[in-house]
């Protein structure tokens, strides 16, 4: 007589079809050994249901994840997640190098932006001069014997303290 | 004519023929002599400005009296100072960059002040007032309608002048003088008041005989009637600047001031001065060939980041600013100086003048980055 075998745990878990379940029950009624195993499985299942939820440690999780992809972060739902505490010495060095490189790139980028901004301003130190075009216009007219043409009237320029003498 | 016929009748036939030939050739010889004198004057002026000694005054050497045209213009320059006049002056220019017309009320007392109240017209709002530009200096402006003693001297040196006979301007009898280039093209035409020789009208042409400028007096009053209507304006409290000689300019060049001895198109330096301002010393240089004038103002420093009232344009590949709306004022910065150029000249002449002066081209991306890093390095240098 063949015993229930793998169908025994399926019977305990309620995963058999009604016809298979009827045949299994008929076998259990006649087979003491299978009946004892079925009782043992039910008892184990009952005890496991009674256990509280135990937290899974990070170390276990990381070890489990690194089984699939040794030497690198484990993909989790499409994202890479840095796990610096549990990486090996080699991985820790690699991550530190990446952070240093990232920081250096940020510094270079910042300096470049600053330099580009500074490079656009005049390189020669000196006063900022808004040409007093109306005064210049009068001076030009004095030289040419023409009427002075108007410049930008709203231009705030340095007032002339003296005028060029036209001899 | 009667005198000439009598003299010919008393002379033998051969002598009469020789006399007639001399009479015919005399104007040609006179013109040739004038040309030589003008060329020598121009050469002398050029060498005086570019020579190492620089001890010669900047004033152009007046050419010898070559004819009635130059004589009339000299009288016109003097009349601009000695004759009292009042009227409306209209200045029109036609250029590629745009046409402009300016109208101004002008009052001048004999040997005294000249008052100008200008208002822009034409494409610009005619209501815009440029304000009264008064000048209490008895010597300035030297003339009117571009006729000053110095410019007439230059004109006689660089152009051929001819008296063209009587004419009329502003309903007044006038005498016409024409200015011709060496290539035979008409450069300018003047109408001078027959009685006082005061300039009444001026037309300026480019080398293609195209009218590019016209100055006209309208409703002109002369003499006592003009002097009586001159408004009173309080004198400005100004300190006169200094006139510079060629020696002064040589010293300024040695101190790094980029003072050109001449500008293209035959514009020579004929006047220089300096004036103090709050932002530093301003050097005022005037270049001309007698007809066109370019004034160059230069000052140490740089332009501010934003120039209100100025428009950024590109002129022959240079990024410059032009004063709106006349576009006869150009300013830019280069080699530690701010240059401002004002011109009564064709655009091509103005462009060439601008090209002569220093200019700092934009550094570009890498140049700008390099300059910025250099500046950062200089800040970090503890030994500087």
Give the per-residue pLDDT at B260.
94
Mean pLDDT of A110-139: 78
CA atoms within 13 A on the CB side of A74: 14
DSSP-derived pairing of the beta strands B129-135 and B114-121: antiparallel
Does residue A84 sit in helix, strand or coil?
Answer: coil
A108 interaction partners in chain B (CB closer than 8 Å): none
A141 interaction partners in chain B (CB closer than 8 Å): 116, 133, 141
Other C-beta atoms lying within 10 Å of the C-beta of residue A1: 7
Both tokens of B164, joined, read: 């063209």
Q: Do A143 and B141 lie within an 8 Å CB cutoff?
A: yes
DSSP state at residue A39:
H
DSSP state at residue A79:
B
Q: Which one of B101, B278, B304 would you mutate to disrupt binding with A, by most A Cβ within 10 Å of its Cβ?
A: B278
Q: Do B303 and A133 lie within an 8 Å CB cutoff?
A: no
- Residue for token digits 């209501």? B127
Distance CA B147, CA B169 (A): 16
Distance CA B24, CA B158 (A): 26
Does the pLDDT value for residue A165 go beyond 50? no
Does the pLDDT value for residue A51 go beyond 60? yes
Chains A, B: CB contacts under 8 A, how many? 229
Does the pLDDT value for residue A22 go beyond 70? yes
Q: How far is B331 from chain A (nearest CA, A)?
A: 8
Phi and psi torsions of A69, nearest 5°: -140, 85
Mean pLDDT of A1-29: 83
Distance CA B149, CA B166 (A): 23
CB within 8 A of B72, min separation 6: which ones? B163, B175, B177, B192, B197
Give the per-residue pLDDT at A122.
57
Q: Do B309 and A129 lie within an 8 Å CB cutoff?
A: no
Domain map (residue ranges) of chain B: 26-44+239-384, 61-227
Statement: B61-227 belongs to CATH 1.20.120.1730: no
- The answer to whether the Cα torsion of B40, B297, B143, B99 is positive or negative is positive
Distance CA B261, CA B259 (A): 6
Q: Do B240 and A165 lie within an 8 Å CB cutoff?
A: yes
B145 interaction partners in chain A (CB closer than 8 Å): 145-146
DSSP state at residue A163:
E
Give the per-residue pLDDT at B102.
80
Query: Would you state the CATH architecture of domain B26-44+239-384?
Result: 2-Layer Sandwich (3.30)
Q: Do B372 and A160 lie within an 8 Å CB cutoff?
A: no
**Higher-scoring residue by pLDDT: B289, A86:** B289
Distance CA A163, CA A142 (A): 11
Mean pLDDT of A61-80: 60
Q: Do A167 and B80 lie within an 8 Å CB cutoff?
A: no
Both tokens of B97, joined, read: 């960059």
CA atoms within 13 A on the CB side of A73: 14
B26-44+239-384 and B61-227 have identical folds: no
- The answer to whether the Cα torsion of B248, B254, B259, B261 is positive or negative is positive
B151 interaction partners in chain A (CB closer than 8 Å): 144-145
**Higher-scoring residue by pLDDT: B96, A34:** A34
Q: What is the 3-state secondary structure (H, E, C) of chain B?
A: CHHHHHHHHHCCHHHHHHHHHHHHHHHHHHHHHHHHHHHHHHHHHHHHHHCCCCCCCCCCCCCCCCCHHHHHHHHHHHHHHHCCEEEEEEEEEEECCEEEEEEEEEEECCCCCEEEEEEEECCCCCCCEEEEEEECCCCCCCCECCECHHHHHHHHHHCEEEEEEEEEECCEEEEEEEEECCCCCEEEEEEEECCCCCEEEEEEECCCCCEEEEEEEEEEEECHHHHHCCCCCCCCCCEECEECCHHHHHHHHHCCCCCCCEECCCEEEEEEEEEEECCEEEEEEEEECCCCEEEEEEEECECCCCCCCEEEEEECCEEEEEECCCCCEEEEEECCEEEEEEEECCHHHHHHHHHHCCCCCCCHHHHHHHHHHHHHHHHHCCCC
Nearest CA in chain B to A111: B373
Q: Do B278 and A131 lie within an 8 Å CB cutoff?
A: no
CA angle A151/A152/A155 to nearest 5° reads 125
H-run or E-run covering A25: helix A18-30
Q: Do A143 and B295 lie within an 8 Å CB cutoff?
A: yes
Strands in B98-108's sheet, in edge-to-edge order, are B129-135, B114-121, B98-108, B85-95, B211-222, B199-205, B186-193, B172-180, B160-169
CA angle B197/B199/B203 to nearest 5° reads 140
Q: Which one of B113, B141, B333 would you mutate to disrupt binding with A, by most A Cβ within 10 Å of its Cβ?
A: B141
Q: Phi/psi zone of residue B287: left (φ > 0), alpha (ψ -120 to 50 degrees), beta? A: beta
Q: Which of B284, B302, B368 sits opposite A164 (nearest CB)?
A: B284
Mean pLDDT of A109-131: 77
- Radius of gyration for the alpha carbons in chain B, expressed in angstroms and rounded: 25
Angle between helix B13-50 and helix B149-158 axes, rounded to 10 deg: 120
Q: Which residues of chain B have pLDDT under 70?
A: 1-66, 95-98, 118-142, 229-240, 324-327, 382-384
Give the per-residue pLDDT at A60.
74
ipTM: 0.72
Mean pLDDT of A99-111: 91
Distance CA A160, CA A136 (A): 10
Does residue A162 sit in helix, strand or coil?
Answer: strand
CB within 8 A of A140, min separation 6: which ones? A146, A148, B293, B295, B342, B344
Determine the distance from the C-alpha atom of residue B331 to the mean position of all C-alpha atoms in its chain, rounded to a whole number: 18
Nearest CA in chain A to B377: A115
Both tokens of A129, joined, read: 């001069």
Does residue A132 sit in helix, strand or coil?
Answer: coil
Q: Do A163 and B368 lie within an 8 Å CB cutoff?
A: no
Q: Do A139 and B310 lie within an 8 Å CB cutoff?
A: no
Give the per-residue pLDDT at B65.
56
Q: CA nearest B280: which of B264, B259, B295, B302?
A: B302
Mean pLDDT of A14-41: 86
């Amino acid at each position: 007589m063949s015993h229930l075998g793998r169908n025994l745990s399926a019977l305990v878990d309620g995963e058999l079809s009604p016809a298979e379940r009827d045949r299994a029950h008929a076998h259990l009624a006649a087979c003491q050994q299978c009946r004892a195993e079925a009782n043992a499985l039910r008892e184990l299942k009952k005890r496991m249901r009674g256990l509280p939820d135990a937290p899974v440690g990070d170390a276990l999780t990381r070890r489990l994840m690194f089984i699939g992809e040794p030497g690198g972060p484990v993909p989790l739902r499409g994202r890479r997640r840095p796990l610096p505490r549990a990486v090996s010495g080699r991985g820790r060095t690699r991550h530190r190098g990446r952070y240093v490189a990232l920081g250096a790139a940020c510094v270079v980028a910042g300096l470049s932006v600053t330099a580009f901004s500074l490079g656009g301003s005049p390189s020669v130190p000196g006063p900022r001069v808004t040409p007093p075009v109306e005064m210049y216009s009068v001076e030009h007219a004095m030289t040419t014997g023409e009427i002075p043409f108007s410049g930008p009237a709203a231009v705030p320029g340095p007032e002339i303290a003296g005028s060029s003498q036209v001899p | 004519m009667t005198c000439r016929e009598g003299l010919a009748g008393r002379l033998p036939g051969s002598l009469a023929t020789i006399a007639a030939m001399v009479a015919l050739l005399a104007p040609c010889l006179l013109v040739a002599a004038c040309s030589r004198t003008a060329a020598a004057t121009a050469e002398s002026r050029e060498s005086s400005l570019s020579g190492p000694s620089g001890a010669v005054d900047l004033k152009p050497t007046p050419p010898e009296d070559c004819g009635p045209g130059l004589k009339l213009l000299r009288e016109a320059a003097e009349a601009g100072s000695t004759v009292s006049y009042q009227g409306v002056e209209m200045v029109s220019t036609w250029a590629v960059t745009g046409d402009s017309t300016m109208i101004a009320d002008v009052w001048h007392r004999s040997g005294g002040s000249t008052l100008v109240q200008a208002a822009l017209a034409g494409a610009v709002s005619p209501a815009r007032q440029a304000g009264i530009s008064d000048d209490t200096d008895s010597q300035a402006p030297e003339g009117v309608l571009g006729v000053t003693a110095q410019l007439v001297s230059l004109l006689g040196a660089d152009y051929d002048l001819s008296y063209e006979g009587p004419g009329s301007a502003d309903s007044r009898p006038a005498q016409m003088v024409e200015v011709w280039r060496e290539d035979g093209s008409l450069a300018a035409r003047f109408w001078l008041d027959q009685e006082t020789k005061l300039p009444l009208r001026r037309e300026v042409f480019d080398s293609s005989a195209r009218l590019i400028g016209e100055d006209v007096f309208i409703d002109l009053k002369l003499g006592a009637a003009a002097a009586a209507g001159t408004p009173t304006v309080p004198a400005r409290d100004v300190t006169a600047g200094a006139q510079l000689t060629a020696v002064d300019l040589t010293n300024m060049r040695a101190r790094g001031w980029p003072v050109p001895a001449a500008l293209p198109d035959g514009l020579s330096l004929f006047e220089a001065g300096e004036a103090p301002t709050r932002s530093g010393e301003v050097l005022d240089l005037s270049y001309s060939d007698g007809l066109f004038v370019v004034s160059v103002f230069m000052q140490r420093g740089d332009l501010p980041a934003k120039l209100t009232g100025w428009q950024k344009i590109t002129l022959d590949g240079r990024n410059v600013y032009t004063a709106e709306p006349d576009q006869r004022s150009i300013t830019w910065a280069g080699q530690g100086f701010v240059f401002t150029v004002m011109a009564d000249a064709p655009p091509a002449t103005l462009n060439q003048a601008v090209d002569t002066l220093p200019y700092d081209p934009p550094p570009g991306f890498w140049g700008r980055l390099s300059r910025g890093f250099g500046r950062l390095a200089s800040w970090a240098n503890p030994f500087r």
